[in-house]
Each structure stands twice: as C-alpha cells, then as structure tokens.
Chains A and B, each alone.
Chain A
Amino acid sequence: EVQLVESGGGLVQPGGSLRLSCAASGFTFSSYWMHWVRQAPGKGLVWVSRINSDGSSTSYADSVKGRFTISRDNAKNTLYLQMNSLRAEDTAVYYCARDGGGVYDLDYWGQGTLVTVSS
C-alpha cells in the first residue's frame, strides 16, 4: 500500500524558515517524480514544486521560486521542502504527492501538514 506521511509543519514568524519532510513507503520511491502542493485555509489547490526521480531536475511555481527548495533522499525514501523567507501568504496545508508517470497526474497524496506564518 502506497503511503505518504508529511511532517515538519508548525508556526513560524514571517521571514523565518521551515523544512517539511514526506516519508514514502509501499512503492519504489526512487522511480517516481514527486510533488508538493499547498492549500490555504478555505482556498483551492496550488501546485508548488516538482522533482524528478533522481533529483537532477526541479520545477517551481513563480510564487515560491528563489525561496523554496525541493529535494529528496532516495536512500531514506524521503522528500523534502526547504522553505525560506516565509510570508503570511505561505500559510497553508502542504501535501506531498506522487507523480503517476507518463501523463503528469498526481496519483497518491499524503494527508498534509499545516504551516502557519504569523507573528
């Protein structure tokens, strides 16, 4: 059974940093692209970032480019999102998701971790 479990969320002050983790199990993690998607309270889904299977290629939404860094450790079956220079508008539930492969869908999602940016 595919499982994705996010952790690392919490309360952080504006301008601060936070690192999210996503522990994967039930599939060959090193074979799949992975994503981060966020959802502000009461709002819709917003794609944040994607990393390819070996970590050599990444892509970011314009709203986080230069502030967030996606990475992975295939030996630990773990996906990361390093978030710097956080702003109030980054407050959201952050989901990690697996890329289905081939047609660019997201076929499995974690339950999410809440990040709150506030003073």
Chain B
Amino acid sequence: SYVLTQPPSVSVAPGQTARITCGGNNIGSKSVHWYQQKPGQAPVLVVYDDSDRPSGIPERFSGSNSGNTATLTISRVEAGDEADYYCQVWDSSSDLYVFGTGTKVTVL
C-alpha cells in the first residue's frame, strides 16, 4: 500500500518560515492535499491539488510537489499556526485515500 512519510515535528520562531515535507514514491505524479488540525478540533483543508488554497486560507500557506516529496510552506509563522499538519493523496492503483503520518508544528 502507498505510504506517506512526514517528520514528527517542526519548530519555528514567530515570523519565520516553516516547511513540512511529505515523502512518497513518485508523489509528484499525484495531487497532494494538506490539512491543519488544532487540539480538540476537526481537520481543516489548507492546501489542495498541490498548491491551491481554499477560500479563507491565508496566502502565507503554500504548497509544492515534485519527485518524491511534497512540501507545505507556512510563511511569517504566527502563534495561531501551531497545530498538527497532515498530507493526503488518493492512490489510484488501489482506490484508497492515504494520509501522512502527521507533523506537529511548534511555534517557539
């Protein structure tokens, strides 16, 4: 089955840039989506189709995808960005949806 690997944690100072990676075999050929989940809350879609943002999501959130790695970038990090982040793809070969292992972003 398809596996998506994320670093368990990323720490960043306020105002700096956080980069969260999502590794998968030839992930560049798939559409990657990113979700933010704060404690006790449901996930929220922050980037879809590699780099598009849903309405209401700040431009500080951006995404890229190439080769074996997709990346979520959070620019000018704020305290409110502290959350768990998950990548997700659809694996066409199995018709299964796959989530990454999740990354906890800590704002120092």
Which residues A103-119 have CB closer than 8 A to chain B? 103-112
Task: Select B88's contact among A50, A62, A106, A111, beta carbons within 8 Å.
Answer: A106
Contact B48 A105 (CB under 8 A): yes
- Chain A contacts of B96 at CB under 8 A? 47, 59, 61
Known: A95-B42, A111-B42. A103 touches B99 (CB 8 A): no
| B interface, CB within 8 angstroms of A | 1, 31, 33, 35, 37, 41-45, 48-49, 54, 84, 86, 88-90, 95-102
Interface of chain B: mostly helix, strand, loop or mixed: strand
11 CB-based A-B contacts, threshold 8 Å: A44-B99, A44-B101, A45-B35, A45-B102, A61-B96, A95-B43, A105-B49, A106-B33, A107-B48, A107-B54, A109-B43
Given A103-B33, A105-B49, do A35 and B1 touch, yes or no (CB 8 Å)?
no
Cβ contact of A62, chosen from B1, B33, B37, B43, cutoff 8 A? B1
A38 and B98 CA atoms in complex are apart in Å by 12
Binding site for B on A (CB under 8 A): 35, 37, 44-47, 50, 59, 61-62, 95, 100, 103-112
Contact in complex: B97, A107 (CB < 8 Å): no
Once the chains bind, are B99 and A109 in contact (CB under 8 Å)? no
Q: Which residue of A lies closest to B33 (CB)?
A: A105
* Nearest CB of chain A from residue B62's CB, rounded to whole Å: 16
A100 to B96, CA, bound (A): 16
Least Cβ distance of B47 to chain A in Å? 9
Residues B33 and A109 in contact, CB atoms below 8 Å apart: no
Residue of B nearest to A111 (CB): B42
Instruction: List 6 tightest A-B contacts by C-beta distance, closest first.
Output: A104-B90, A105-B33, A47-B97, A44-B102, A105-B48, A109-B42
Of all chain A residues, the one with the shortest Cβ separation from B103 is: A44
